[in-house]
Amino acid sequence: MPRQRRRRSPRITRRRNRTRNTNMNPTSTPAAFGIFDTALNLDTAVRDKAMQRHQEITEVLTRAGIAASTFLQGSFARKTMLKPLKDVDMVIVLSEEFRKAWFGTGKGGPAAAMARLRREIEKHWPDARFDVDDKPAHALQITFPDCIFTIDLVPAFADANGGEDVFIADRELDRWERSNTRTLRRIVADRNKATGGVFVHQVRMGKSFKGDKPELQGLCGLVIESLCYAAITKKMAHAAAMVAFFEHAATAVMGKVMDPTGVDDLAEEWTPSDRTTYSKAFATAAARGREALSLAADGEHEAAIEIWHSVFGDPFPAPSAQTSAQALAALTAGSITSTGRAVSSRRGAQPNRPARSWRTR
């Protein structure tokens, strides 16, 4: 994949999810993760609207003879996007009749392609506006009055040798850059299938974790997706998958972090300080995740849920509050969790060691 400049890439988006589920009090860890998962899903009506507009644009551009085909790319296409949906990336594979005039460096092709796309869109959507929020190097950004999201049209030429790669436009550098975005989408889909369809859900959970941690804001969504791809290779319960992700990430960020296709090192520009900061955040989450797994195994689900809530923040539901009587009963021979909850299990972060009763000799 070609290197994308920050904020200009149609491929990478950064989103924070602040949906609150603290009014729900699940009694089991799987139920809590189910609520969490649902909270991260894109709104169905908005997603359907995006797919409808994608189809409409495809029909318009193919009828006009500009597009040979189109396909979606980015986290929306890979189903790893957190809500709210703010942009949809469409790759427009241009008709071959334009290759001679537009393809190559320094020929003005990327700008010409975007201008042609704009003229055709304006014919069918006169109220559409262009490059309002941003002017991406690789895409023509379209704002429609009936959509709460933008559509980014990425002009591209197919690989003349018949390969899976495409060559996408860069209007800033006036060139066409090789991109394996279709390979990335296929590989992620294959991993999702291999995990019984849970992988993309777990990637969204990883992205939500990143969004709740200020110290991780330097990481793009594709980094989280790549770390999850390396750590989650088979079907796993959400809690176990998140621990595997945190444990892997804590060490992986100290070295190369390859995207799922194995082409780009996404960490090559990180400083040693960045790496240490990222590693600490993931290591802390891994330790708490392991504690939560142990407590859930001992039947202390509310304590485990409380720990997961501390890891993920508001999108993850909170447990019922512990009463004073419950705390006193648990303290008799149990332990205290990392969140300060008393449990009868001895596997909390702070074992409770009752002192010997005072007596005279």
pLDDT for residue 11 is more than 70:
no
Q: Note the pLDDT tens digit of each residue in 215-256.
A: 999 999 999 999 999 999 999 999 999 999 999 999 999 999
Per CATH, 41-179 and 185-351 having the same topology is answered no
What does pLDDT average to over the chain? 89
Which among 160, 186, 204 is positioned nearest to 261, based on CA atoms? 186
Q: Note the pLDDT tens digit of each residue in 73-132.
A: 999 999 999 999 999 999 999 999 999 999 999 999 999 999 999 999 999 999 999 999
Q: For position 346, what pLDDT does the model report?
A: 72
Q: Note the pLDDT tens digit of each residue in 41-83.
A: 999 999 999 999 999 999 999 999 999 999 999 999 999 999 9
Which among 221, 177, 281 is positioned nearest to 78, based on CA atoms? 221
Q: What number of H helices and E strands is found in the chain?
A: 12, 10
Measured distance CA(294)–CA(296) in Å, rounded? 5
What does the pLDDT average to over 306-320?
94
Structure tokens at 269: 């520009």
pLDDT for residue 148 is more than 60:
yes
Q: Note the pLDDT tens digit of each residue in 185-203.
A: 999 999 999 999 999 999 9
**What is the β-pairing status of strands 67-73 and 87-94?**
antiparallel
Where are the chain's structural domains? Answer: 41-179, 185-351
Q: For position 6, what pLDDT does the model report?
A: 37
- Class of CATH domain 185-351: mainly alpha
pLDDT for residue 358 is more than 90:
no
- Class of CATH domain 41-179: alpha beta
Q: Note the pLDDT tens digit of each residue in 136-145.
A: 999 999 999 9
**What is the β-pairing status of strands 335-336 and 150-158?**
unpaired
Measured distance CA(13)–CA(133) in Å, rounded? 14
Q: Using an 8 Å Cβ cutoff, are 134 and 36 in contact?
A: no
Position with higher pLDDT, 125 vs 16: 125
Q: For position 16, what pLDDT does the model report?
A: 40
Q: What sign does the CA torsion over 165, 166, 170, 175 have?
A: positive
